[in-house]
Structure 1
Amino acid sequence: MKVIMLQDLKKVGKKGDIVEVAEGYGRNFLIAKKYAVEATKQNLNEARAKQKSAERKKQQANDEARLMAAQLSQVEITIPVRVGEGSKLFGSVTSKDIANTLKEQHNIDIDKRKIEVRSITCLGDYTATIKVHPEISSTITVHVIEK
Protein backbone atom coordinates (compact mmCIF):
# COMPACT_ATOMS: atom_id res chain seq x y z
CA MET A 1 0.00 0.00 0.00
CA LYS A 2 1.32 3.47 -0.87
CA VAL A 3 0.85 6.31 1.59
CA ILE A 4 1.87 9.97 1.71
CA MET A 5 3.53 10.92 5.00
CA LEU A 6 2.03 13.88 6.85
CA GLN A 7 4.69 13.88 9.59
CA ASP A 8 8.28 12.71 9.97
CA LEU A 9 8.44 9.18 11.36
CA LYS A 10 11.66 7.33 12.08
CA LYS A 11 12.39 4.36 9.84
CA VAL A 12 9.32 5.10 7.68
CA GLY A 13 9.75 8.48 5.97
CA LYS A 14 9.72 12.23 6.16
CA LYS A 15 6.82 14.62 5.68
CA GLY A 16 5.70 14.65 2.04
CA ASP A 17 7.41 11.36 1.13
CA ILE A 18 5.47 8.70 -0.76
CA VAL A 19 6.30 5.36 0.84
CA GLU A 20 5.27 1.73 0.34
CA VAL A 21 4.13 0.06 3.59
CA ALA A 22 2.25 -3.09 4.57
CA GLU A 23 -1.54 -2.88 4.24
CA GLY A 24 -2.29 -3.40 7.95
CA TYR A 25 0.44 -1.04 9.14
CA GLY A 26 -0.78 1.65 6.77
CA ARG A 27 -4.48 1.40 7.62
CA ASN A 28 -4.32 0.54 11.31
CA PHE A 29 -1.44 2.71 12.42
CA LEU A 30 -0.30 5.39 9.97
CA ILE A 31 -3.69 6.50 8.67
CA ALA A 32 -5.48 5.97 12.02
CA LYS A 33 -2.94 8.12 13.89
CA LYS A 34 -2.95 10.72 11.08
CA TYR A 35 0.74 10.17 10.30
CA ALA A 36 -0.13 9.53 6.66
CA VAL A 37 -2.94 9.53 4.07
CA GLU A 38 -3.63 6.99 1.38
CA ALA A 39 -1.91 7.72 -1.93
CA THR A 40 -4.89 8.30 -4.21
CA LYS A 41 -4.52 10.21 -7.48
CA GLN A 42 -5.83 13.42 -5.94
CA ASN A 43 -3.58 13.13 -2.85
CA LEU A 44 -0.56 12.34 -5.04
CA ASN A 45 -1.17 15.43 -7.18
CA GLU A 46 -1.49 17.62 -4.06
CA ALA A 47 1.69 16.14 -2.56
CA ARG A 48 3.67 16.75 -5.75
CA ALA A 49 2.37 20.33 -5.97
CA LYS A 50 3.43 20.94 -2.35
CA GLN A 51 6.88 19.48 -3.04
CA LYS A 52 7.35 21.75 -6.07
CA SER A 53 6.21 24.76 -4.04
CA ALA A 54 8.61 23.90 -1.21
CA GLU A 55 11.48 23.51 -3.69
CA ARG A 56 10.70 26.91 -5.23
CA LYS A 57 10.65 28.54 -1.78
CA LYS A 58 13.92 26.86 -0.84
CA GLN A 59 15.53 28.01 -4.09
CA GLN A 60 14.28 31.57 -3.56
CA ALA A 61 15.63 31.64 0.01
CA ASN A 62 18.93 30.28 -1.28
CA ASP A 63 19.14 33.01 -3.96
CA GLU A 64 18.34 35.74 -1.41
CA ALA A 65 21.02 34.36 0.92
CA ARG A 66 23.61 34.40 -1.90
CA LEU A 67 22.77 38.03 -2.65
CA MET A 68 23.01 38.96 1.04
CA ALA A 69 26.35 37.12 1.34
CA ALA A 70 27.73 39.00 -1.67
CA GLN A 71 26.72 42.32 -0.13
CA LEU A 72 28.11 41.40 3.29
CA SER A 73 31.49 40.40 1.89
CA GLN A 74 32.13 44.06 1.03
CA VAL A 75 31.20 45.36 4.50
CA GLU A 76 33.85 46.67 6.87
CA ILE A 77 33.08 47.80 10.41
CA THR A 78 35.11 49.75 12.94
CA ILE A 79 34.74 49.05 16.64
CA PRO A 80 36.30 51.59 19.08
CA VAL A 81 37.32 49.98 22.38
CA ARG A 82 39.02 50.93 25.64
CA VAL A 83 42.65 49.87 25.74
CA GLY A 84 45.06 49.23 28.63
CA GLU A 85 48.83 48.80 28.69
CA GLY A 86 50.47 47.12 25.72
CA SER A 87 47.37 47.77 23.55
CA LYS A 88 45.42 45.03 25.35
CA LEU A 89 41.65 45.42 25.43
CA PHE A 90 39.55 45.55 28.55
CA GLY A 91 37.62 42.34 27.92
CA SER A 92 37.22 41.27 24.30
CA VAL A 93 35.17 42.01 21.21
CA THR A 94 32.33 39.48 20.93
CA SER A 95 29.79 38.55 18.30
CA LYS A 96 27.25 40.68 20.19
CA ASP A 97 29.48 43.74 19.75
CA ILE A 98 29.85 42.99 16.04
CA ALA A 99 26.07 42.57 15.62
CA ASN A 100 25.40 45.87 17.41
CA THR A 101 28.01 47.70 15.31
CA LEU A 102 26.58 46.27 12.08
CA LYS A 103 23.17 47.58 13.13
CA GLU A 104 24.52 51.03 14.00
CA GLN A 105 26.93 51.60 11.10
CA HIS A 106 25.23 49.80 8.19
CA ASN A 107 21.66 49.21 9.41
CA ILE A 108 22.10 45.44 8.91
CA ASP A 109 20.25 43.36 11.50
CA ILE A 110 21.95 39.99 12.05
CA ASP A 111 21.51 37.64 14.99
CA LYS A 112 24.64 37.39 17.14
CA ARG A 113 24.42 33.57 17.09
CA LYS A 114 25.02 33.60 13.33
CA ILE A 115 28.33 35.43 13.73
CA GLU A 116 31.46 33.35 14.31
CA VAL A 117 34.55 35.19 15.46
CA ARG A 118 37.75 34.10 17.18
CA SER A 119 38.56 35.88 20.40
CA ILE A 120 39.58 39.47 19.73
CA THR A 121 41.72 40.76 22.60
CA CYS A 122 44.12 43.13 20.81
CA LEU A 123 43.86 46.06 18.43
CA GLY A 124 43.99 45.27 14.72
CA ASP A 125 42.04 43.94 11.76
CA TYR A 126 40.10 40.70 12.01
CA THR A 127 37.60 38.72 9.95
CA ALA A 128 34.26 37.44 11.19
CA THR A 129 32.20 34.76 9.48
CA ILE A 130 28.45 35.27 9.20
CA LYS A 131 26.16 32.33 8.45
CA VAL A 132 23.51 33.85 6.22
CA HIS A 133 21.91 30.48 5.40
CA PRO A 134 22.70 26.95 6.60
CA GLU A 135 24.69 26.36 3.41
CA ILE A 136 25.95 29.90 2.72
CA SER A 137 28.29 32.07 4.75
CA SER A 138 30.11 35.34 4.24
CA THR A 139 33.01 37.15 5.88
CA ILE A 140 33.27 40.75 6.99
CA THR A 141 36.30 42.76 8.06
CA VAL A 142 36.38 44.08 11.63
CA HIS A 143 38.73 46.95 12.51
CA VAL A 144 39.35 47.25 16.25
CA ILE A 145 40.68 50.70 17.15
CA GLU A 146 41.41 52.64 20.34
CA LYS A 147 38.73 54.98 21.68
Structure 2
Amino acid sequence: MATTKLILTQDVANLGNAGEVVEVRSGYGRNYLIPRGFATKWTKGAQKQIDQIQAARRRHEIASIDDARAVRDTLQGAPFVTVSGKVGATGRLFGGVSAAQIADAVKNDLGQTIDRRRVIIDAPIKTVGDYTVTVNLHSEVSAKLKVRVVATK
Protein backbone atom coordinates (compact mmCIF):
# COMPACT_ATOMS: atom_id res chain seq x y z
CA MET A 1 0.00 0.00 0.00
CA ALA A 2 1.80 3.08 -1.28
CA THR A 3 1.14 6.42 0.35
CA THR A 4 1.50 9.96 -0.92
CA LYS A 5 2.11 13.22 0.93
CA LEU A 6 -0.36 15.93 -0.05
CA ILE A 7 -1.12 19.51 1.00
CA LEU A 8 -4.83 20.09 1.58
CA THR A 9 -6.10 23.23 -0.17
CA GLN A 10 -9.59 22.95 1.36
CA ASP A 11 -11.07 21.45 4.51
CA VAL A 12 -11.81 17.74 3.96
CA ALA A 13 -14.08 15.95 6.44
CA ASN A 14 -12.37 13.21 8.45
CA LEU A 15 -8.99 14.08 6.91
CA GLY A 16 -7.84 17.59 7.83
CA ASN A 17 -8.05 21.32 7.31
CA ALA A 18 -6.66 23.52 4.56
CA GLY A 19 -2.91 24.00 4.85
CA GLU A 20 -2.19 20.71 6.57
CA VAL A 21 0.17 18.10 5.15
CA VAL A 22 -1.47 14.66 5.16
CA GLU A 23 -0.36 11.24 4.09
CA VAL A 24 -3.01 9.26 2.19
CA ARG A 25 -3.12 6.22 -0.06
CA SER A 26 -1.88 6.99 -3.53
CA GLY A 27 -5.14 6.14 -5.30
CA TYR A 28 -7.24 8.34 -2.99
CA GLY A 29 -4.98 11.28 -3.65
CA ARG A 30 -4.54 10.69 -7.36
CA ASN A 31 -8.18 9.85 -8.18
CA TYR A 32 -10.16 11.97 -5.73
CA LEU A 33 -8.33 14.72 -3.84
CA ILE A 34 -6.13 16.19 -6.58
CA PRO A 35 -8.68 16.17 -9.48
CA ARG A 36 -11.32 17.89 -7.33
CA GLY A 37 -8.88 20.56 -6.16
CA PHE A 38 -8.92 19.46 -2.51
CA ALA A 39 -5.15 18.89 -2.44
CA THR A 40 -1.87 19.41 -4.26
CA LYS A 41 1.26 17.30 -4.23
CA TRP A 42 3.69 18.02 -1.43
CA THR A 43 7.15 19.27 -2.36
CA LYS A 44 9.87 20.99 -0.40
CA GLY A 45 9.11 24.24 -2.22
CA ALA A 46 5.41 23.98 -1.34
CA GLN A 47 6.08 25.02 2.26
CA LYS A 48 5.55 28.66 1.16
CA GLN A 49 2.06 27.74 -0.05
CA ILE A 50 1.33 26.04 3.27
CA ASP A 51 2.38 29.18 5.15
CA GLN A 52 0.11 31.36 2.97
CA ILE A 53 -2.93 29.09 3.53
CA GLN A 54 -2.35 29.04 7.28
CA ALA A 55 -1.93 32.84 7.40
CA ALA A 56 -5.23 33.28 5.53
CA ARG A 57 -6.92 30.85 7.95
CA ARG A 58 -5.67 32.84 10.94
CA ARG A 59 -7.05 36.08 9.46
CA HIS A 60 -10.52 34.55 9.05
CA GLU A 61 -10.65 32.59 12.29
CA ILE A 62 -11.75 33.90 15.65
CA ALA A 63 -8.64 34.01 17.82
CA SER A 64 -9.68 32.34 21.06
CA ILE A 65 -12.42 30.15 22.45
CA ASP A 66 -13.51 32.97 24.78
CA ASP A 67 -14.00 35.32 21.81
CA ALA A 68 -15.92 32.62 19.97
CA ARG A 69 -18.16 32.06 22.99
CA ALA A 70 -18.86 35.81 23.20
CA VAL A 71 -19.85 35.87 19.51
CA ARG A 72 -21.99 32.74 20.04
CA ASP A 73 -23.83 34.40 22.93
CA THR A 74 -24.50 37.46 20.75
CA LEU A 75 -25.76 35.34 17.83
CA GLN A 76 -27.99 33.13 19.98
CA GLY A 77 -29.22 36.06 22.07
CA ALA A 78 -30.61 37.87 19.04
CA PRO A 79 -34.22 37.03 18.16
CA PHE A 80 -33.27 36.69 14.46
CA VAL A 81 -31.40 38.30 11.59
CA THR A 82 -33.37 39.44 8.57
CA VAL A 83 -32.55 38.52 4.98
CA SER A 84 -34.69 39.88 2.17
CA GLY A 85 -35.12 38.69 -1.38
CA LYS A 86 -37.31 39.00 -4.46
CA VAL A 87 -40.34 36.72 -4.34
CA GLY A 88 -42.47 35.40 -7.17
CA ALA A 89 -46.25 35.09 -7.23
CA THR A 90 -46.14 31.67 -5.54
CA GLY A 91 -44.14 32.96 -2.56
CA ARG A 92 -40.87 31.34 -3.62
CA LEU A 93 -37.63 33.30 -3.75
CA PHE A 94 -35.86 33.92 -7.04
CA GLY A 95 -32.78 31.88 -6.18
CA GLY A 96 -32.08 30.96 -2.60
CA VAL A 97 -30.56 32.51 0.49
CA SER A 98 -26.79 32.08 0.51
CA ALA A 99 -24.31 31.87 3.36
CA ALA A 100 -22.83 35.19 2.21
CA GLN A 101 -26.24 36.89 2.54
CA ILE A 102 -26.59 35.51 6.07
CA ALA A 103 -23.08 36.70 6.99
CA ASP A 104 -23.92 40.18 5.64
CA ALA A 105 -27.18 40.21 7.61
CA VAL A 106 -25.30 39.31 10.81
CA LYS A 107 -22.89 42.18 10.19
CA ASN A 108 -25.71 44.66 9.49
CA ASP A 109 -28.13 43.57 12.23
CA LEU A 110 -25.77 42.51 15.04
CA GLY A 111 -22.46 44.19 14.21
CA GLN A 112 -20.59 40.86 14.33
CA THR A 113 -18.33 39.69 11.52
CA ILE A 114 -18.52 36.00 10.68
CA ASP A 115 -16.90 34.06 7.84
CA ARG A 116 -19.46 33.03 5.22
CA ARG A 117 -17.68 29.69 4.83
CA ARG A 118 -18.53 28.86 8.44
CA VAL A 119 -22.31 29.22 7.91
CA ILE A 120 -23.92 25.79 7.49
CA ILE A 121 -27.34 25.77 5.79
CA ASP A 122 -28.86 22.29 6.22
CA ALA A 123 -31.57 22.57 3.56
CA PRO A 124 -31.79 25.20 0.79
CA ILE A 125 -33.74 28.29 1.86
CA LYS A 126 -36.06 29.09 -1.02
CA THR A 127 -39.24 30.45 0.62
CA VAL A 128 -40.17 33.26 2.99
CA GLY A 129 -40.19 32.25 6.66
CA ASP A 130 -38.07 31.54 9.73
CA TYR A 131 -35.10 29.17 9.58
CA THR A 132 -32.27 28.04 11.84
CA VAL A 133 -28.71 27.73 10.56
CA THR A 134 -25.50 26.65 12.27
CA VAL A 135 -22.42 28.87 12.43
CA ASN A 136 -19.11 27.15 13.25
CA LEU A 137 -17.22 29.91 15.05
CA HIS A 138 -14.29 27.85 16.32
CA SER A 139 -13.30 24.20 16.23
CA GLU A 140 -15.03 23.74 19.61
CA VAL A 141 -17.77 26.43 19.45
CA SER A 142 -20.80 26.62 17.18
CA ALA A 143 -23.97 28.69 17.36
CA LYS A 144 -27.55 28.26 16.21
CA LEU A 145 -28.69 31.39 14.39
CA LYS A 146 -32.32 32.23 13.62
CA VAL A 147 -32.82 33.72 10.17
CA ARG A 148 -36.03 35.41 9.04
CA VAL A 149 -36.48 35.62 5.26
CA VAL A 150 -38.79 38.40 4.10
CA ALA A 151 -39.97 39.55 0.67
CA THR A 152 -38.67 42.81 -0.76
CA LYS A 153 -41.28 45.22 -1.95
TM range (shorter): 0.5 to 0.7
Deviations 1:21-57 (A, max 9, x none): xxxxxxxxxxxxxxxxxxxxxxxxxxxxxxxxxxxxx
TM-score by length of 1: 0.56
Asked if 1 retains the 8 angstrom alpha-carbon contact of 2:71 and 2:112, the reply is no
Larger relative strand fraction:
1
Cα deviation for residue 106 of structure 1 reads 1.9
CA distance in 2, matches of 1:105, 1:70: 15
CA distance in 2, matches of 1:74, 1:128: 14
RMSD over aligned Cα atoms? 2.0
Say whether residues 1:63 and 2:66 are aligned partners. Answer: yes
User: 2:103 — aligned with what?
Assistant: 99
User: 1:90 — aligned with what?
Assistant: 94
CA distance in 1, matches of 2:107, 2:66: 23
Deviations 1:109-144 (A, max 9, x none): 111001111310011000111111111100111000
User: 1:139 — aligned with what?
Assistant: 144
Asked if 1 retains the 8 angstrom alpha-carbon contact of 2:85 and 2:93, the reply is yes
Deviations 1:82-130 (A, max 9, x none): 1002101000001011011111222211110011113100110001111
Structure 2 unaligned regions, length at least 5: 1-20, 23-62
What SS does the aligned partner of 1:139 have?
strand
Computing the radius of gyration from Cα coordinates, the structure with the larger value is 1
TM-score by length of 2: 0.54
Cα deviation for residue 63 of structure 1 reads 2.3
CA distance in 2, matches of 1:71, 1:106: 8
How many residues are aligned here? Answer: 90
User: 1:80 — aligned with what?
Assistant: 84
Aligned residue type for 1:61: S
Say whether residues 1:110 and 2:114 are aligned partners. Answer: yes
CA distance in 1, matches of 2:147, 2:113: 16
